[in-house]
Amino acid sequence: MGLRMNRFGRWQRILVVALCVALASQVNFEALMPGFIVAFSPLLLPAFLYFNTDLNPLSLVGTVALASPIFRGLLLWLSHSDQITTIGLLTLSDIGFYVCYGVLYYWLYWRRGGWNDLTFFCTIVLCDYGANLFEIGIMNQGNFADYHFFQLLFIVALLRSTLGCIFAFGYHYLNLMMRKEKHEKQYYQFVLAAAAVKNELYFMQKNVVEIERIMQNAYFLNQSLQDENPTASQRALEIARDVHEVKKNYRNVITGLGEQFDLNQMQTMHLTEILRIVISDLRATIKERQLNVIVQAQNEVEVVVGKHYALVTILSNLLLNGLEAMSNQRSGRLQINISRMNNEIIFEIDDNGVGMDPGVQAAIFQPGFTTKFDLQTGDVYRGIGLYHTKKIIEEQFQGKITVESKPCEGTTFTVYLLQSKMEDVEQ
């Protein structure tokens, strides 16, 4: 409410509040004495004050004090419900209610600073009670009833203030929860995107080593052919220069991506948080593809992971492989179990998909092997593949991966990672 109203200008917001309170004041019933009404408007007023702390309450409630009572008086006059003097007195008492409410709120809460919800609630109760007393004082010309009457007034003020504050606080905390959920989703998306970039950078850096080797070979060829074949020697030198430019551009891309994602800003992550991120992303994929797949996780380990981007990549790829194995089934189950054995953390990813025959099992970790391609176009689906997943496991965690599968029954990937390597901070 506050964010939406803050899009308007100062006086626009004040007029919107005045109009809403004036309309809400028409929902009322007469109580305690003739002419005294218990209206719905004081339920809304705390919410408007709570979400518009940048507005001076004297201006806000002062405008309400003109709009709402005059609107009520006009309706009474048009309906010929009372005499002009009675209507004038009721209108004046209504104005007194809002003026007193605004002045009390200004002095007791707004100008003091150090705001909190408990102080706000207590202030609203006092404002409602004091404004009711002031209104009845105008109506009865300073004559008040017995002690029981004051008790009833306080109960009315307490109930209205409680309901009004529940609405204001509830809306505020609901907004906070929604904002937190939105930020959490953005955080998950960042981690997944950063993990993908980190993975690409890892293999790009490995390619730089290969590029340097090619460049060195071309340079050595240039040196060895200088006497025998100057033309070929010069050509080898040109190749070395061209490869050097490629390497330089490669390094610029690596540096640029690293700076763009600031990949070192999160030094560590808890394993439970990593698991929550990859499963949340997997469930979003299941929903997007309209699959009937149940994802279950059982984690018996809590460890702080330094190489969290690499682990996110490993788990995401293996879980996605399991999901794709069930894409043509009516229903499926995907289970991930995490346990510890000695100094190793063991991840088991189990699905009840189509499974693999022994020939496919023997080839899945080979470079370039894939079963994922479009039958119509022949295009291969892009992904890091099980070969690269295996390389990350072996090179970054000194671990290993095994697979067990039976056609039409399912597949189980088991990953063994050294805990000490998991805890190392990524560089």
Phi–psi pair at 298, nearest 5 degrees: -135, 115
* Cα(176)–Cα(325) distance, integer angstroms: 39
Over range 110-135, report the average pLDDT: 82
More confident residue, 292 or 64: 292
Q: pLDDT tens digits, residue range 31-73?
A: 555 545 566 667 778 877 787 777 777 877 777 777 666 666 6
User: Residue 339: its pLDDT value, please?
Assistant: 93
Q: Give one DSSP letter per residue of 123-164, joined into a string.
A: HHHHHHHHHHHHHHHHHTTT----HHHHHHHHHHHHHHHHHH
- pLDDT of 312 reads 86
Give the pLDDT band of residue 306 (cuts 50, 70, 90).
confident
pLDDT of residue 227: 77
Q: What angle do CA 259, 260, 266 make, to 5 degrees?
A: 75
Annotate 183-248 with three-state secondary structure: HHHHHHHHHHHHHHHHHHHHHHHHHHHHHHHHHHHHHHHHHHCCCCCHHHHHHHHHHHHHHHHHHH
What is the rounded CA–CA span in Å between residue 80 and residue 82? Answer: 6
Question: Residue 138: is its pLDDT beyond 90?
Answer: no
pTM to 2 decimal places: 0.55
What mean pLDDT value characterizes the chain? 77
Rounded average pLDDT over 270-278 = 88
Contacts of 13 (CB under 8 A, 6+ apart): 5, 6, 52, 55
Q: What average pLDDT does the segment 257-275 reach?
A: 71
Q: What is the pLDDT of residues 310-325, one digit of tens each?
A: 888 899 889 988 888 8
Please give the pLDDT value at position 3. Answer: 43
More confidently predicted of 304 and 376: 304
Fold adopted by 269-423: Heat Shock Protein 90 (3.30.565)
| Alpha helix stretches (DSSP H) within 55-146 | 57-78, 84-105, 117-139
Residue 76 has what pLDDT? 58
Task: Please report, as a single letter, which amino acid is at residue 197.
Answer: V
Q: Is the pLDDT of residue 353 over 50?
A: yes
The contacts of residue 156 (CB under 8 Å, 6+ apart) are 31, 38, 128, 132
Q: Answer yes or no: is pLDDT of 378 > 50.
A: no
User: Which CATH number is associated with domain 2-145?
Assistant: 1.10.1760
How far, in Å, are 115, 120, 236 from residue 112 at the CA level? 8, 11, 80
pLDDT at 291: 86
Tell me how far CA of residue 412 lies from CA of 17, 28, 234, 316, in angstroms. 62, 67, 55, 15
Strand 269-270 with 304-305, pairing? antiparallel
Q: Does pLDDT of 245 surpass 90? A: no
Helix axes 117-139, 84-105, angle to 10 degrees: 150
pLDDT at 270: 86
Question: Does 202 or 133 have the greater pLDDT score?
Answer: 133
Predicted local confidence at residue 375, as pLDDT:
46
Residue 405's CB is within 10 A of a number of other CB atoms, namely 20
* Residue 222 confidence (pLDDT) above 70: yes
Helices 271-289, 147-224: inter-axial angle, 10-degree rounding: 90
Q: Which one, of 333, 327, 315, lies nearest residue 392 by Cα?
A: 315
Asked if 32 and 133 count as a contact pair (C-beta separation under 8 A), the reply is: no
Q: Closest Cα partner for 214 from 242, 254, 235?
A: 242
